[in-house]
Structure 1
Amino acid sequence: MLAAQRRAGIVAALDSAGAVSVTELAARFEVSDMTIRRDLDSLAEQGVIAKVHGGAVAARPGDSAAVRRTEEPGFQAKSAQQQPEKQGIAAAAAAHVKPGMSIGLSAGTTTWTLAHELLAVADLTVVTNSPRIADIFHHCAETDLPGRAGAAAGPTVILTGGVRTPSDALVGPIANQALRSLHLDLVFLGAHGFSLTAGCTTPNLEEAETNRTLLQTAARAVVLADHTKWNTTALGTFAQLPQIDMLITDTGLSRSAAEQLREKLDTLILADPTETRRPR
């Protein structure tokens, strides 16, 4: 197949599906990932498609919503957004964690905020694909905090390997393989967006796959997302709403949205925003 034919096929696939991954395209056209990446580079230069991490989406000139769905902000940019809401969500989430539990924390600024709340919970086993979250527990391992019986009762932290994304998540086959054999009591996942139709989504296709794998390790799964993420749809779905046990958002969510979500979810919690900050 000529390159031009293959690229036309890529555009046709995008017109049909809206988004495709490099891995999917390489398998479809029986070429290497590198060849597909060159094709995507060429098509992106022509303005025919928009590249995203791990794949591409159809370019829609003038459609600002498409940009919001596919962009992947860095950790620093996201950490400055909706801080009071994230604090309230983290406090509400921490109330469900008991001493001795094994828990999972996906990468993200809301789960990172939750990690600070969990420093006072004794004898946790924490599995995470976030180096930043692992560092929180590591730096405080020798600190005596209320509710902890000294360093011996501090957390055991398991950090997966993988490829680091702009949002500081470790993703990909190595991370997924590390997670598949684990059995956790409770998993907390951040999300770029959540909606009735797309469920819980992230802009990074590989991160979506790792989040799906983390979700499968849990007896119970909780998604943490502030109200500004309602009806935002990113590239990859990692969980439909019925697949999660609880969604914790904040009181900024509209009454109408809350009513719609309660029809899909076992538990919806609306946390009060708080300005209380732990020392970082």
Structure 2
Amino acid sequence: MAISKDIQIISFLERHQVLSVNELSELIGCAEMTIRRHLDSLEERNLVVRRHGCAYLTNDAKPTIFDEQIKLNSREKFLIAHEASKMIRPNSTICFDSGTTIHRIVNLIDPNIRFTAITPSLPFATELAKLGNVKIIMHSGTLNKNNLTLEYAPDILQKKINVDISFISCRSFKAPNGTYEHTDTLIANKRWFANIGKKTVLLADSSKWLKRSVQLCVSLKNIDTIITDSKILDEDVNLIRKLGKEIIVVSDVG
């Protein structure tokens, strides 16, 4: 998959914090005018800030740190995870993407259910191992130290596996397009999960509908069900249903 210049810029800013247009031009290997054009676009989407000829990431665009992210929207994540846990059936094979909402599922799984779990998430696999009836499959890859996730090697992403449900997460979501990310290696993981699952379920709390990101990851046409919380706008719920997709809105009430 070709890496867009937007993603390359964000990746270098993640590594170096602050870079000039000239430095980005040399790192990426393109003209300064091209860098300025992409920075204009990223600034319009509130992903970078530009000061005195340099650029740095906004809070929305900074790397997701697992231990920090899991504390945000905690109640909403619990409710979404609880709804998702009901979908796990005996003897099924389930893909669990990385993500703090998905991580919440592990404590809600019926310990008597036997099933197979495929996950790139080290924290999720560690917790899942405490359940004696679960077979855990972890494929090889490179560890992303921010979210403690394995970024799968290309040969893994070519495999065809029979999966009943793929639970996926996202950096941001926009209807009618789909999910968005700005880490290219995570994009590959998520697309693979969506492709191999008989059913793909997106877990996205309402804050994900307000964020912006760089590159389309999983198209809405490849998502069967969305589970979100009651802070979502009614117009977004109606749009998803109009597009023929199932959306489950969870709340404390009822």
CA distance in 1, matches of 2:201, 2:150: 20
TM-score using structure 1 length:
0.71
Partner of 2:150 in structure 1? 170
* Distance change (3 Å), C-alpha of 1:62 and 1:266: closer
Contact 1:119 1:137 in 2 (8 A): no
User: Within 5 A, what are the aligned runs for 1:103-122?
Assistant: 103-122=94-113
Q: Equivalent of 1:81, from 44, 48, 72?
A: 72
Paired residues, what number? 226
CA distance in 2, matches of 1:50, 1:270: 42
Q: Equivalent of 2:137, from 158, 168, 178?
A: 158
- Identity among equivalent positions (%) equals 16
Q: Equivalent of 2:228, from 249, 253, 256?
A: 249
What SS does structure 2 have at the residue aligned with 1:223?
A: strand
| Uncovered stretches (5+) of structure 1, i.e. residues with no partner | 1-13, 23-36, 142-153, 275-280
What SS does structure 1 have at the residue aligned with 2:64?
A: coil
List per-residue Cα deviations over 1:24-66 (Å, max 9, x = no partner).
Answer: xxxxxxxxxxxxx8xx999x62146879xx9x99324865722
Q: CA RMSD in A?
A: 3.2
Q: Equivalent of 2:127, from 127, 130, 136?
A: 136
What SS does structure 1 have at the residue aligned with 2:46?
A: helix
Q: Equivalent of 2:46, from 49, 52, 65?
A: 65
Partner of 1:272 in structure 2? 251
* Distance change (3 Å), C-alpha of 1:192 and 1:20: closer
Say whether 1:94 aligns with 2:104: no
Deviation of residue 215 (structure 1)?
1.4
Q: Equivalent of 2:201, from 222, 230, 233?
A: 222
TM-score using structure 2 length:
0.78
Contact 1:69 1:203 in 2 (8 A): no
* Distance change (3 Å), C-alpha of 1:103 and 1:263: same
What SS does structure 1 have at the residue aligned with 2:129?
A: helix
* Distance change (3 Å), C-alpha of 1:50 and 1:265: farther
Q: Equivalent of 2:6, from 6, 19, 42?
A: 19
Say whether 1:124 aligns with 2:115: yes
Deviation of residue 264 (structure 1)?
2.6
CA distance in 2, matches of 1:249, 1:49: 41
* Distance change (3 Å), C-alpha of 1:156 and 1:256: same
CA distance in 2, matches of 1:113, 1:125: 18
Deviation of residue 84 (structure 1)?
0.4
Deviation of residue 20 (structure 1)?
4.9
List per-residue Cα deviations over 1:244-277 (Å, max 9, x = no partner).
Answer: 1000001110111211222234200001159xxx
| Uncovered stretches (5+) of structure 2, i.e. residues with no partner | 29-34, 48-57
What SS does structure 2 have at the residue aligned with 1:85?
A: helix
Q: Equivalent of 2:169, from 168, 190, 198?
A: 190
- Partner letter of residue 65 of structure 1? N
